[in-house]
Structure 1
Amino acid sequence: MSATLGIRYRWRDAAVAVAAVALVAFGLAELYVPLAGYVDGQGPDLGALPSGWLAVLTVLLVGYGLAVAACTSYPRAAAVLAGACFTAQSFTPVLPEWPIVPLLALLAACFGCVAVGGRTAPTVAAVSYFASLGIENTVAGDSDWVFIVFVGLAVLGPGYAVRMRRAQAARLVALAAEREAAARTDERLRIARELHDIVSHGVSVMVLQAGAAQAVLDSDSHQARESLEAVQDVGREVVTELRRLLVLLRGAEAAPEGLPSLRRIEPLLTAVRVAGGRVDVTVRGDLATVPVAADVSGYRVLQEALTNAARHAPGATVDVSIEVDGGSLRLHVVDDGPGLGRRGNGTGHGLTGMRERAELFGGTVTAGPRPQGGFEVRVELPADPDGSVSAPGTKAATR
């Protein structure tokens, strides 16, 4: 976008420079070549002017050319310069209303000032135009203000319309940039959620397995060996998940069967069981009918809930309920471990990730300690892929 605008601006400046050179060339022809309008009594005979006046008019002509050339780069200065040259020529033997170059230069400079200038540019252009023409009108003894106002409106009006179009285009560009920045932020948050879910769960299980192996290293070498093998298995799973994430980030499509799914949650249950706990899973409804996006998000939410249970309530019994009912996917994870006091050192990033995932589908998350003890997480995700993506209110306790 910026490269295209840069090329367009360069072409515009080149066209304006060519117009300025052509205007100066035509003005020189008016000054030094006797034209019919000046030898038939309709204007002064420019060929009979003293060389001093011709030099002055030539300098003013160069000023007009500079004003036209700078009307897009320095619009306010160009309008002031054109008005000053026009006013100065009013006190020469050749009034600027007779040759056509001065009026064209003034109109072009004022148009450019209004169209591309800053906030005060319309005022500068209007003052330059009406002041210079008013002085010229007074010096010439003419009172044709109707013509002056008509020409001014015919030039400044379209210039203002161009100004409004440019402002609208600038707003659209700014809005597109804001949307692009928001999209990048959302993508970074999505990647952060995926990394948190993958790494946090995997590392937690590996730490628990390594701790179990260390505890029985001297007394039960077979159990220690199984725990170390489990660490290897979880490590391979984490590496596979990270590779899959990298594939997605590179723009390649991942096959649906290669994505995490609530139909394959057995690896998630290992963390709780390794910590000495028990997991009871109840599934109601057909998980095959859940769209891929909701299925993956539900898997990640369950992964985080089970990881928290293993980390904060080792040895607890965890009940997991997965229900597909109509257009909703409901997850209910509850454990009978210690309450909030045992979980006060958590950062809360996991529950934040749950809430963000649910909000993408217009779902809800309720999480917190139970009065009778333990911790409870309830999640409801609309399974309709075309569902709302609003951000409803959610309740969560830092865990």
Structure 2
Amino acid sequence: MSIWTAAGLFLHANVFFILSLTVGFLRYRSWRITLTRQISWLGIFALCEAGVAWNDLLAPLFDRTTLLPPALRTALLALGYAFLLAFGIQTLLPHDLPQRRLRELLLGATLAWVLPYGLAVTLTFPDLARTALIGEVLARYLLAFPGGMLTGLGIRRQSYQTLEPEWREHIRPYLRMTEAMSAAFGLLNLVLVPAAPFFPANWLNVTRFSMAAPLLWAGVGALWMSGLLLTFTHIQTQIEQWVENVEHLQTLTADRERISRELHDGIIQSIYAAGLMLESTQPLLYTEPHKADAQLRRIMESLNQTIQDIRRYIFDLRSDTPDDDLEPGIRRLLRDFHINTLLETQLHVEGEPPRRPLTLERRRHLFQIVREALANTARHAHAHAVTIYLTYGPDSLEVLIHDDGVGMEAFTLGKGHGLRNIRERTRLLDGIFQIESAPGAGVTLHLSIPY
């Protein structure tokens, strides 16, 4: 075996083995995609192809033509081609085909290699080595060639049936590569076959391309793998973006309904009640001015409280997250919080920031945590002031958010969407989150975030 043949077989084996792993990854990650419905069959084919290539590569090290018995080697190769053929056929079938029918298809394609094998046995019995040789040629002609061609055609057909035009246009180059390499694999199985005593294998066979054959298999496999990975990765990215947009719209709708409900049940009712109180006060202005004055004071207090509630809603509705550095961003949040709630705010910073600043994504998580904590304070704490302490340690950032409000009971510390959101974001930052509170002693949130 020449060094080029050995290198080609090594690449051939590794490329198809990696292709089988790639298919497994795509099956796990891209389960929503119709194109990957039975892609595990393609992975089994690639694994069988890699096994045969490893057999052919390692056999000369043991002074043998093949490690596996010839009949077993041919059976493994034909089994892989049967799975390829089954995959190609199912890509052309309706999407709503029952699983039972798909299993029947797989069984039929798996048993289909018995046909070329039986024909080879009939022609060559009792020479089993020759039986294996002719069985391999027939398996390539009758299973691998149509399997590769149908797979390329089926992927193209399903891409037009299941993908939106703008999605298909975006991944067109990768789809074309996948389709072309599927068809190329099928065509190579008409050309790169062992020499056999019948046409066309006695004229067009691997002996005409002895050095280039393994490299051709490896090249086709590598491009096939790249096309599949790029195609399904881009489709999955588009799906995830669409799901994220839908979830965002659902969140917006829920927020609008919540705000509408709270405005109706809270602020609008308070304003309506103040209007009724003004109507009842008007007759008292001339008959009982002292009573009218006391009533007006209560109305003014009620309206001031309503104004405070409106300001808190405005703060909650601000969805923009600063992209500043950590300290300027937190100061900006505190300034906006003070303007909207009239609560006193302070920021204390200790230590020196790390040489490598926090990434933008980690800073945004911290900003959202601070915003959520401030919103909770505005809604529930009845506080007069909020103080944030930033302490830069050698390995982590310590953040303390303290208010002087009414505090929380122990049984309420784990409740509420706000605290759950803070815990989830802290988990995403690989940090630690703790709450300290007692009735009348305010609330202190303590976060420890590694750099």
TM-score, normalised to structure 1, is: 0.41
Structure 1 or 2: larger helix share? 2
Larger-gyration structure (1/2): 1
Higher relative contact order (CA 8 A, sep 6+): 2
TM-score, normalised to structure 2, is: 0.37
